[in-house]
Amino acid sequence: MGQFTDLKAADGFTFPAYVAQPAGKPRGGVVVLQEIFGVNSHIRAVADGYAAAGYLAVAPSTFHRVKPGVELGYAPDDMSAGMALKATVEALPAPGVLQDIQAAVNHAAQAGKVGMVGYCWGGLLTWRSACLLNGLSAAVPYYGGGMTSEAEVARQPKCPVLAHFGEKDHWIPLDGVEAFKRAHPAVDVHIYAANHGFNCDQRGAWDATAAAQARERTLAFFARHLG
């Protein structure tokens, strides 16, 4: 089990991050980026899972600049609230929340090389981080909403990227995924017979088979690039 720790961004803004420690000497650091539901019990469990795999896991609150203490569930009202908060964060002047994510990367670096994994909006932020931030050795976006837009496809990653998508994802059409693959042949793209949110066991979209396969690939990817 981890605990919340305050981190400080380059502009002096202080925000909480859930930090889970591995049992022994860390194999590296992993930054875990939340969905639009906050650093809730699911994201904390994901961070705990990477700590159990031997990594120092850091899950920053990427909503804290606009609203502290967000912890939503997955009901329609939660979805609406999360989407509104995401839009507010996305509207912040640059670099916005990326400076908080950079602070999380810096904190994770005490454990060695740093990887990042993010889900939904966190997947999009993981892609941006791979392209814009410093100190990342690997990045793994899961069904990053908006990643296949023209502006995001135009970015170039500075570290190896493994991307997971669901073929039944109505938020991210497959033609966009295919265009992303063509634009980024070096990115390792995997498509699963699953819906958006397939990794989250608290959502109806959860797909145990796809989640297990994607996690196995992610752990192998981190072992390769963070070892």
CATH code of the domain containing 32: 3.40.50.1820
β-bridge mates for residue 164, sequence order: 142, 190
Q: What is the mean pLDDT of residues 63-91?
A: 97
Q: What is the mean pLDDT of residues 126-153?
A: 97
Mean pLDDT for all residues in the chain: 97
Name the nearest CA neighbour of 99 among 28, 185, 7. 7
**Is residue 194 scored above 80 in pLDDT?**
yes
The H-assigned helical ranges of the chain are 41-52, 76-90, 98-108, 121-132, 150-153, 174-183, 208-226
Q: What is the mean pLDDT of residues 130-141?
A: 98
Name the nearest CA neighbour of 137 among 161, 118, 154. 161
Q: What is the mean pLDDT of residues 201-226?
A: 97
Q: What is the mean pLDDT of residues 142-166?
A: 97
Distance, first Cα to last Cα, the chain: 24
Name the nearest CA neighbour of 125 among 48, 206, 43. 43
Determine the structural domain holding residue 145 and report its residue range.
Answer: 3-226
Q: Which contacts (CB < 8 Å, 24+ apart) does range 74-77 have? A: 74/37, 74/200, 74/202, 74/203, 74/204
Contact 58, 47 (CB under 8 A): yes
pTM of this prediction?
0.98
pLDDT digits (tens, 9 = 90+) for 13-43: 999 999 999 999 999 999 999 999 999 999 9
Cα radius of gyration rounded to whole Å, the chain: 16
* Number of structural domains found in the chain: 1
For residue 3, report the phi and psi dihedrals to the nearest 5 degrees. -150, 160
- The residue length of the chain stands at 227
Query: Can you give the pLDDT at residue 1?
Result: 75
